[in-house]
Structure formats: C-alpha cells, structure tokens
Amino acid sequence: MADPLDPVACLIDGDTLVADGPRHVIIDPYTELPMGATPEAGAELVDRAVHSAARAQTDWGTVPVDERADLLDRVAARLDDEAEAIAALVTREMGMPAGLARVTQAQLPANVLRATAAIARDGFPWREDGPEAVLLRRGAGVVGAITPWNMPVHQIIAKVSAAVVAGCTVVLKASEQTPYDALRVAEIFTAAGAPPGVLNVVTGTGPQTGAALTGHHALSRVSFTGSVRAGRDVARQAAGALTRASLELGGKSPAVLLPDADLDTAVPAVVGSGLVNSGQACNATTRLVVPTDRIDEVADRIAAAATTFVLGDPADPATTHGPLVTAAARDAVLARIGTALAQGGRLITGTGHKSTVADTGFFVDPTVIAGLAEDAEAVREEIFGPVLVLQGYSGIDDAARIANDSRYGLSAEVWSADPEAAQHFGARLEVGQVKINGVRTRDRVSVPFGGMRDSGYGRELGPLGIEEFTDVTAVMA
C-alpha cells in the first residue's frame, strides 16, 4: 500500500514552499486512507503569487507567438514521457480508473497542448486588417485559474495552455483533492523552459485561497470550472474587482435517440458516456431521451450494458469504474437515488444502497432510473455520480422540448441512422456542444467547449479558448 505523500507545495516565482495554513487531508477514495494533505495558502501567498505573475507577464507578453507555442509543444512531449506516473497520481488522488486516467489526463492534455500551439501559430487572428481599422489581439495580463478534481490535468491544461500561448501568466489554484498533479504540471512547465512566474500554483480551499485569488484586483481574467453554487461566488468576487470571468459549471446533458436509432449501438454508447468516470463528468449524458414506445427495449439493453462494467481497484487495468471521490460524495449520490425512488422511480440497474463490490472504497453501483416525472429532482439536478434517468418522448418536437427542458446547457448527444437528420435535430438543442452518433469531445480537441444558462459562459479549447485570454486594440489611421 502506498505511503502518504508529503504536503503539496506552492510554486511561486519558480520557488517551492509549503504554506503554513490549516491542512486539508486527502483521503484515497479506494483505500479510504490518508494519501497527503493540501495546506491553505491564504491571501498573503496568493498576493505574492499574483504579483510574481504580473512581473513575469511584462516580458512574457512580448515573447513571439511561435516561441510561446514552442513551449506548449515541449510540455506536451514531457507529458508523453510521464504519462504513466501522472495517470497513477490522478488515480490515487480521486479514484479514476488507470486506463481512463492515461487517456484523459495524459494523452488528451498533450493533444490539447499541441493543438493549441498549432492554432496560435497559424489559426488565430492576432492581427486583422480591416477597411477601417487594424485589430490587434494581445494577452490580457494575469489569469487566475481554478480547476476541479474530476478531470484535473485536462482542466489545468485547457486553461493554462490557452492563457500562456496568448501571452498571459497564470496563478493556478487546483482542487484541494487533487493538488499533486497541479504542482507536477507546473514543474513540467518550468522544466520545459517557462520563465519563473509564468505559471504559479497556490494550494487551498475555495472559500479561502480561491476567494483571495478571484477577488484580487491585479487579475485581468478569471477562469473557473466547478459547481453552480461556487461559480456564482466566483462571478461575484471577480465582478467586485471588475475582472472578466469565464465559468464552466456543469450540466444535465441529454442523449436523444431518434426513432430510427440503432439501439444495439446507441444504448451501450450513451450509457458508457453517461457513466464515464463513475458519472463524475460535467458533460456526462445523464438523461437518456428515447421514444416512449421503445422504452422497454432500451431498458433491456441498459441492463445488459451494465453487466459489462467492472467496479474495483482503480489501479487495476481491468477496472472500468472506480469509487466516487469522497465519502460525502457517495452519501450525497445515494441520498439522491433514495429521493428518486420515493418520487416513484424504478430501478433498471443498481440497488439504491451502498455498493458491496469491495471492502473499502466510496463506491456506488451504476444506477439507471425510469418512471420519473419531468419535475423530479433526479431529472432536474446534476447528481455527479453514476446515475442516469430514462425519459420517454412522443414525437420529434417532444424530444426537442424534453432535451431543452433544463436550466443547464452544456452538451448533448443525438443518435440516428440518418446523420443529416441528426444534425438538423441537434441544431435545435440549446447547448454548447452536440455530438452526433458517438463523436467524443476528447477526439475533437480544437472544438470550443462551454455552455449556456447555469452551465456558465465562455469557452475553452480552439481559437475561442485563446480568445478568452486576449484584449483587442483597434488602430485607426
């Protein structure tokens, strides 16, 4: 069994130091034993980090774009070299199965870095010559980035790569559950040639360290991924300092199976995407919207798909689904399932009780619930666990109505034997991304990602992701 790690350090102006504030103990979600600790950095260290970034930005903003892009390529190469170690670290911190961690927390971030570098060199309008003015885009300044625990390295890279290539410098506060990978990413940037102060890391919780960062007067941008509740706090704090913010706040994403969809292909796929990372994904397809007259067929295939899942030690290559991140997260998900059953839901898969798959670990069995009213809590609210709901529709217009009947608007899937019909239907959906017939976000690393309504505002990835971190000057002559 792995020994606990030393408390994670901050990285400020190229120097590592351990904050002396209170410590948040990190519990391994599988062993239920302490694996490390996150010390609270607090306002003083945050201020030091922001001013370090501000000093570094004076020079970094003048470095040619090609050289900034070269840094991203070097970081990508180092991520390739350290893929196994980084994946293992994420697995230990938050319970992601090792195979998924390699793909999404090492390979995907490396692909994002390379794609962002390529766009910066050849696909971004740093200068636009118009008939009345020349538009010049440059890095906005210092960025405060706050990232979540569920896709930790990917979320760090999505924000940092775009900000750094734009000519910004960054102060990063990762989740207190997953700080070790954040520090390792910063160390990789330094080893790849990032000057001191270009990427700084501060540790701590959202209400303390995070609030000190997002409300800091010297920031030019805030980029946040997390819950709606925390996002509202971040928006208020940033607005108080007149700092522009981008927010990615989660979703309740529908997967719509049109009447001609091939159920044998579509159902296992949408169940898989809905339960990926044990449902701890903001764009998980947690609402399965299917023709009412095919619900029984769909339910049979859901039950069959669930038998292929392997719950267990996330470090075991055979494991497909690991534990939830904390005991509190497990208990909250089980409470939501209990409420759904009390509101008339019926289980297609799952037991509604604490999983008995292992002696330790914060496990919840994959759960799919049918028979709920449209206003039921499990239909309306993001659960952030391995829980899907099955909804029936009576026609194409009804399918669109149900899919759009949400306060979220992040992502959706559409399945049809007719790709053109699927795209036509997808255009009706009020979400930031629509994936047709199994296209995956991770395979389209230059497509902008972000949402509407309570899913937040702003975009990551691709040219729009870089745009978030630039200011525009119009030069008229």
Please, which pLDDT band fits residue 122 given cuts at 50, 70 and 90? Answer: very high
In angstroms, rounded to a whole number, what is the distance separating the alpha carbons of residues 318 and 324?
18
Q: What is the pLDDT of residue 3?
A: 79
Report the Cα 18 to chain-centroid distance in Å.
27
- Helix 179-191 vs helix 83-94: crossing angle, to nearest 10: 160
Map out the domains of the chain as residue ranges.
10-249+455-475, 254-452
CATH number given to 10-249+455-475:
3.40.605.10
Task: Please compute the mean of the pLDDT values over residues 208-225 and round it to a whole number.
Answer: 97
Strand partners, 183: none
pLDDT at position 360:
96
Distances (CA, A) of 303 to 55, 85, 128, 234, 334: 57, 35, 55, 41, 19
Region 206-214 average pLDDT: 96
Residues annotated catalytic, as ranges: 248
- Report pLDDT digits (tens) over 413-426: 999 999 999 999 99
Mean pLDDT in residue range 91-120: 97
In this structure, which topology does domain 254-452 adopt according to CATH?
Aldehyde Dehydrogenase; Chain A, domain 2 (3.40.309)
What are the CA-CA distances from residue 392 to residues 160, 274, 291 (Å)?
41, 17, 5
Q: Model confidence over 268-297: pLDDT tens digits?
A: 999 999 999 999 999 999 999 999 999 999
Do 10-249+455-475 and 254-452 share a fold?
no
| pLDDT, tens digit (0-9, with 9 covering 90-100), for 426-443 | 999 999 999 999 999 899
Q: Find the mean pLDDT for residues 369-374.
A: 97
The CB-based long-range contact list for 68-71 (8 Å cut-off, 24+ gap) reads: 68/120, 68/164, 68/165, 68/167, 69/116, 69/117, 69/118, 69/120, 69/121, 69/165, 70/117, 71/164, 71/165, 71/189, 71/192, 71/193, 71/194
Confidence class for position 396, pLDDT limits 50, 70, 90:
very high
Q: What is the dihedral of CA 460, 382, 201, 89, to 10 degrees?
A: -100
Specify the pLDDT at position 4: 82
Q: Are 133 and 476 in contact (CB under 8 A)?
A: yes
Q: How does the average pLDDT of the chain come out, rounded?
A: 96
The pLDDT tens digits of the residues spanning 49-81 come to 999 999 999 999 999 999 999 999 999 999 999
**CA-CA distances (angstroms) from residue 104 to 86, 151, 269?**
11, 8, 17
Instruction: Give residue 2's pLDDT band: very low, low, confident or very high (50, 70, 90).
Output: confident
What is the mean predicted confidence (pLDDT) over 462-469?
98
Query: Looking at residue 1, what is its pLDDT?
Result: 61
CA dihedral sign of residues 409, 410, 415, 420: positive
Name the β-bridge partners of 36: 26
In contact, 457 and 246? CB cutoff 8 Å = yes
- Count of CA atoms in the C-beta half-sphere (13 A) of 358: 20
Per-residue pLDDT tens for 134-174? 999 999 999 999 999 999 999 999 999 999 999 999 999 99
Q: CA-CA distance, 175 to 396, in Å (whole number)?
A: 41
